[in-house]
Structure 1
Amino acid sequence: MKLDGAPSMRRYGVSRFYTRHRLAVLLVTLICLGLIAKLRQPARPRNCHGGIPLPQILAQQRKSGATANFAATTAGWRPGARCANYPQDASLVIVVKTGATEAFSKLPTLLLTYLSCVPPENVLFFSDMAGTIGNFAIHDSLDTATADATKDNPDFDLYNNQKELRQLGQNMDSLRNEWKSEAAWRLDKYKNLYTAQKAWDLAPDRDWYLYIDADTYISWTNLFLWLATLDATKPLYLGSQVDVGRPPFAHGGSGYLLSKPAMQLLVGDDRKSLAKEFDKNATTACCGDQELGRTLFKKGLKVQNVRPVINGKNPREFNFGPELWCTPVATMHHVGSEEVQDMWDFENQRNSTKEPLLMEELYYTMIASLMTTPRRDDWDNQSPFDQLRPDPILTPNHVGDFDFFHHDPTKSYNHCRKACEKDKDCFQFVYSKDSCKFDTAFTLGKPRYPKKAEDGGEEVRFQSGWLVERIQKWIAQNSPCPGPNWEKDH
């Protein structure tokens, strides 16, 4: 029998043997490559559901007719590279309230920065007009508002005009700028309760719900360190307390936090009657966050002030000093898109993203180099404390060696500065016509350009000054911080 010829090999199945052998080798190779590829995939965090919404959320969305946030894909969703300080199994929903006139100028930056860390089923956008941004739904907070709010109410003119423009294929830039800002503010106050109720419908049974505006920044490091100190099983309504009117309420732009039991107070069997009462009261209320606070108060839940952890200012406006130095801040407000990016970059360049971010570190890295000059013209450092001008009728010009007119702090910039220097607690001041204000903290502030006086007289200019050496001496005496101070202010 010959085995070295092709016919013999084919006759006795040797060719078939080689073919089967090659197929087997190929199959084993493919299986091995598949196993290697699977092993090399990054481990998916436990309980991270990625871009595929949780089953119970999908069921609720089908029931309510809501649009799912994120299209389910085979690839799913992964957090951004800068998200090591965001626990992917966090039972937290971020609820962003915005308006159609600003949504597309503010939301993209949030999605590209700190919201890129949040699983999509835990991010909800609410506005006064439905739409989408990228793969995310923007839900209409007001499409279920009652007639108590909408009927013959000029506050809803913007809401109706926006719908008409959309039907005509126009964008919101078509609205008159001088009108839409004020109109958007009046409309905004009707959203808060509906936003909360719909947030529960879309993402129920989470431990925490954090409500923010589209110009709010969140520090994940500080937020989760703070959340670890709280009990999510208790009804909690936490925020930066505002004492305008009664009862006090949590300021919306700073962000306010509701626990699961607190949310359940708003979505019980009486949710429709709550909404009806909310709409009726909102027509005369100043703002929606105030009315939401009143609704929770009537349900037996009072706001707890946690400022400055929940905070309504941005780094330019922080009052650094004795009351705000070793304090972690979890939220900031009035943060423009560029500032959001700056904060996001700054946080991700820190030596440790696991350690709390204190105001001290923020000052050193973002503000200190801008506060080496003792004076800035056409600038407002937001000093709050008015210094009174002596009254020559009630007080003689001279008492002993003290010349009241000579020491009048409202007379000029230099007089204001000298008065600040004499006050041991004064770090900075701002002078404008017949006005001198001090501060016991130090703040960068922002430009404030000349304006005409109300009486039509000469322009009013703002001149800010800092006692730089006094500030630097205080910092040297109080740094480094021994650790984070989570205490609320008073």
Structure 2
Amino acid sequence: MVFSDIEQDVGGHHVYGSLEEVSDKYKYSHRDFNFYRRLLDLFAKGQDLSLLADTKQATGNGWDLDKWKFVPIAHRVYVEQPDIKWYIFLEADAYMGWSNLLEVLSKFDPDKPWYLGATHFYGDVAFAHGGMGYIISNGAMRMLDTIWNPQNIARWERRTAAGCCGDVELAAVLQEAGVNITGIPGLYGESLSWFEWDEGK
């Protein structure tokens, strides 16, 4: 599944709206969504979205929106694809070596609650750094789904409004569901040129 700020079809592929599950209360009034509201307005009018690069066209920016996406996207992919063993989340500028990834995942049971990634800390929350990619098992998604209700969503959105980052918010919600991060080796935020490629390395 591919997610973006605007739900649309591109080249025969459906692109899901990453903010569709966020409450209208926030989407249509909170300052974090100033950029989003302007984006929707330009898109609806068929105008050039690059106008948003001009700060006069919209206050705020895409980073303000980022923290709102992680939890809703995680839930949406589970609702759309509830039987997948592993949910692998990657941003547009990230990649994973699939053969290595499959070898790592073969050591874990997807029916158990696993949240795998490069461990970072924000206060007392251990989280998987979103920019490096992270993996959630079907077992963990089922646990998340059991606490997905209007009361919790309202509380999570209040916390997100005051929080910093979507990957931190997702980890906090998963912790509430009883799922903690397990760090896995081999997830790095560096480019390929950073690694040593000499023989034997």
Alignment TM-score > 0.5, same fold: yes
**1:128-175 per-position Cα deviation (integer Å, ceiling 9, x unaligned):** 211122111111121231255335311101111111101111132121
Matched, 1:317 2:194: yes
- Contact 1:130 / 1:138 at 8 angstroms: preserved in 2? yes
1:175 aligns with 2:52: yes
Question: How far does residue 266 in structure 1 lie from its aligned partner after superposition?
Answer: 2.1
- Whichever residue aligns with residue 310 of structure 1, its letter is L
Gaps of 5+ in 1: 1-123, 321-362, 365-478, 482-490
Counterpart of 2:164 in structure 1: which amino acid? C
Q: Is 1:186 aligned to 2:64, yes or no?
A: yes
Higher percent of residues as helix = 2
Query: Quick check: 1:239–1:304 contact (8 Å CA) kept in 2?
Result: yes
Q: Percent identical across equivalent pairs?
A: 29
Query: Which position in structure 1 is the counterpart of 2:115?
Result: 237
Tell me whether 1:140 sits opposite 2:17 in the alignment: yes
Distance in 2 of aligned mates of 1:133 and 1:224:
29
Matches within 5 A, 1:29-44: none
Other-structure match for 1:155: 32
Q: How many residue pairs align between the two structures?
A: 200
Write out aligned runs for 1:281-300 (5 A). Answer: 281-300=159-178
Partner Cα distance (2:193, 2:55) in 1:
27
Q: So what's the TM-score if we normalise by structure 2?
A: 0.90
Partner of 1:350: none
Partner AA of 2:3 in structure 1: F
1:284-339 alpha-carbon deviations (Å, 9 max, x no partner): 111101000011112221111113x2222211334x4xxxxxxxxxxxxxxxxxxx
Provide TM-score, normalisation by structure 1: 0.39
Larger Rg: 1
Amino acid at match of 2:66: D
Residue identity opposite 1:306 in structure 2? I
Partners in 1 of 2:105 and 2:121 — Cα distance? 24
Change (3 A) 1:264 1:244: same
- 1:161/1:226 Cα in 2 relative to 1: closer, same or farther (>3 Å)? same
Q: CA RMSD in A?
A: 2.1
Match of 1:131 in 2: 8
Q: How much does 1:181 deviate?
A: 11
- Matched with 1:480 is 200
Shift in Å at residue 177 of structure 1? 4.8
For 1:324, the equivalent position in structure 2 comes to none
Specify the SS of the correspondent of 2:151: helix
Given that residues 208 and 232 in structure 1 are in contact (C-alpha distance below 8 angstroms), is that contact kept between their aligned partners in structure 2?
yes
The 3 A distance-change label for structure 1 pair 181 and 248 is farther
CA deviations 1:375-423 (Å, max 9, x no partner) are xxxxxxxxxxxxxxxxxxxxxxxxxxxxxxxxxxxxxxxxxxxxxxxxx
CA distance in 1, matches of 2:147, 2:179: 18
Give the whole-Å Cα distance in 1 for the aligned partners of 2:95 and 2:60: 23
Match of 2:73 in 1: 195
* CA offsets 1:173-228 (integer angstroms, 9 cap, x no match): 12125587961011111011110111012211111001110111121111111111
Task: Give, in angstroms, the shift of residue 270 of structure 1.
Answer: 3.2
Distance of aligned partners of 1:273 and 1:171 in 2 relative to their CA distance in 1, 3 Å threshold: farther
Q: CA deviation at 1:269?
A: 5.8
> How far off its partner does 1:278 sit?
2.1
The answer to whether the Cα contact below 8 Å between 1:240 and 1:250 also exists between their aligned partners in 2 is yes
CA contact (8 A) 1:149 1:282 kept: no
Cα shift readout 1:418-454 (whole Å, capped 9, x = no counterpart): xxxxxxxxxxxxxxxxxxxxxxxxxxxxxxxxxxxxx
Q: Which has the higher contact order (CA 8 A, sep 6+)?
A: 2
- List alignment gaps of at least 5 residues for structure 2: none
Taking a change above 3 Å as real, the CA distance of residues 212 and 177 of structure 1, as seen in their structure-2 partners, is farther
Q: Report the 3-state secondary structure (helix = DSSP H, G, I; strand = E; otherwise coil) of the residue aligned with 2:15.
A: strand
Distance 1:236 1:129 in 2: 30
Do the aligned partners of 1:190 and 1:288 also contact (CA within 8 Å) in 2?
yes
Contact 1:206 1:260 in 2 (8 A): yes
| CA distance in 2 between partners of 1:259 and 1:293 (Å) | 14
Aligned CA distance change for structure 1 residues 278 and 317 (closer, same or farther; 3 Å): farther
**Mapped contact 1:189–1:286 kept (Cα < 8 A):** yes
